[in-house]
Amino acid sequence: MTKLTFKYGINTSIAIFLVIGVIVLIEAISFKHHNRLDLTASKLYTLSDQSIKVLKSLQKDVKVIAFFNETQRGEQQAFKDLLDQYLYHSSRFSYEFVDPDKSPGKAKKYQITSYGTTVLESENKEEIISDIREEKLTNAILKLTRKGKKVIYFSKGHGEKNIKDINEPGYSFAKKAIEDSNYEIKDLVLPTTETVPEDSNLLIIAGPKKPILNTELETLKKYIEKGGKIFFMIDPGTASELGSFLEKYGIDLQDNIVVDKLSRIFGVDPSMPVVTQYGRHPIVKNFSTATFFPLTRSVDMTVNPVKGTRVTSLMKSSSDSWAEINKVPFEIGEAVFEEGKDIKGPISIGVVASLNEKKDTPERFRHDFDPKEDKPKDVKKKEGRIVVIGDSDFASNSRINILGNSDFFLNIINWLLEEEELISIRPKQSTGQLFTLSKAQQKMIFWIPLVVMPALFIISGITVYKKRKNMK
């Protein structure tokens, strides 16, 4: 019996030490490899792709100073949870909370006049926000760390979408989304100018209703060949003169209306194709969110694109769609697919073209002359970029916030501006509810699994050992 008791005692001791060892090992691993698992339905504790990309690309230290007083414990904890996620993804990110009532000097230094104000610092620059959402925080970091502002021009003079219009057809939401991404927006009355301004990084032509003159097309041609970027959004039945212009760049702007029966599944009219099929291009890389395009025409690639031009289809409608050639039945709500007349889907409704310098380009175009060295010098030629979408309403105030429309619109802009690192799914406002734990609850969560449970296991082992010893 003594041997048996001794055996049980040894086994119990080993079990106790194993449990303690496992706990210590888990703690050590979690300290070095602190991966997180977000089980909330709305991914409340998961940053967007864009925020993560911005944080991982930080070249400068960014510090957040949040001014909250004692009455704002719930808000402060919620913001701290968000800041901890930022801290997790970048060693260049840091934060501190300051109570302006207890540190009036620091509050005065940053000219803080209201609770809940947050200051972001990087080198000699500051950004102030009063909204503690991820979207606002990431945009503030972008403004702090990016060099200068790139300029985007919106064309005027042909009945294009109005970026100041706050009504449903307007583009005021699109304008705000662009400006929030730290870009500057200007107007360009295309008929009154012979050249696109030198400070233009991108020209957007959104939904022109009046013809674009040949002189204007020549201006656009020169701009593209100099490495300019243009984003065309051309609605059905408009700007027919752009067909021959875009054909030179391998883009086929077709005169039709895309009808998609799959749209009914999403509760919308077949005249609003729902796109879930995307091509192989950085704009839509890892992009799986549906996008909606009301009254769109097809935009495809030409059979023989111009030499030196890369052309890619961005997205297509479903296999249940078709391109309606005869618009009369469509207008009276009786559109049906006609074999031999209409084009069977999937239908391409967006195309990208890149104009690159090639090795067979004549010498005089591939070099500039250096008078000092009396010989040509190599010059990196800028890449012209074009995106054509067969619809402009997808980015209007009434549509831009539907599912993936906003991300798709901004991804196009990022690519055209040669800022591929910003192409991503952007922060969305969470619909989840925060549950703030009290200090007692926090202590309970710590003590029960890490102290109480192991202690109970040890006590249980000792009790069993003593009982067996008494049985001797």
Neighbouring C-beta atoms of residue 196, cutoff 10 Å: 20
Residue whose C-alpha is closest to residue 393's, from 317, 316, 293 = 293
CA atoms of 263 and 133, how far apart (whole Å): 33
CA atoms of 135 and 117, how far apart (whole Å): 16
pLDDT value, residue 53: 85
Query: Could you tell me the CATH superfamily of domain 49-143?
Result: Glutaredoxin (3.40.30.10)
**HSE-up of residue 195 (Cα within 13 Å, Cβ side):** 6
pLDDT value, residue 1: 52
pLDDT value, residue 32: 47
- Burial class of residue 104 (count of CB atoms within 10 Å of its CB; 0-12, 13-18, 19+): exposed
Q: Where are the domains of the chain?
A: 1-47+454-472, 49-143, 150-422
What phi and psi values does residue 353 have, to the nearest 5 degrees? -130, 135
Q: Helix 134-145 to helix 49-56 angle, to the nearest 10 degrees?
A: 30
pLDDT in tens, 273-298: 999 999 999 999 889 899 999 999 99
State which H helix or E strand residue 185 sits in: strand 183-189
State which H helix or E strand residue 177 sits in: helix 172-180
Residue whose C-alpha is closest to residue 235's, from 158, 295, 300 = 295
pLDDT in tens, 118-137: 999 998 889 999 888 898 89
Helix, strand and coil percent figures for the chain, each rounded to 5: 35, 20, 40
Decide whether 49-143 matches 150-422 in CATH topology: no
State which H helix or E strand residue 8 sits in: helix 2-32
Q: Are 409 and 174 in contact (CB under 8 A)?
A: yes
Q: Are 428 and 321 in contact (CB under 8 A)?
A: no
Q: Are 426 and 199 in contact (CB under 8 A)?
A: no
pLDDT value, residue 379: 47
Amino acid at 189: V
**HSE-up of residue 44 (Cα within 13 Å, Cβ side):** 11
Residue ranges, the chain, pLDDT below 70: 1-45, 329-334, 357-381, 425-453, 455, 457, 460-461, 464-472
Fold of the CATH domain 150-422:
Rossmann fold (3.40.50)
Which tokens go with 399? 């549509």
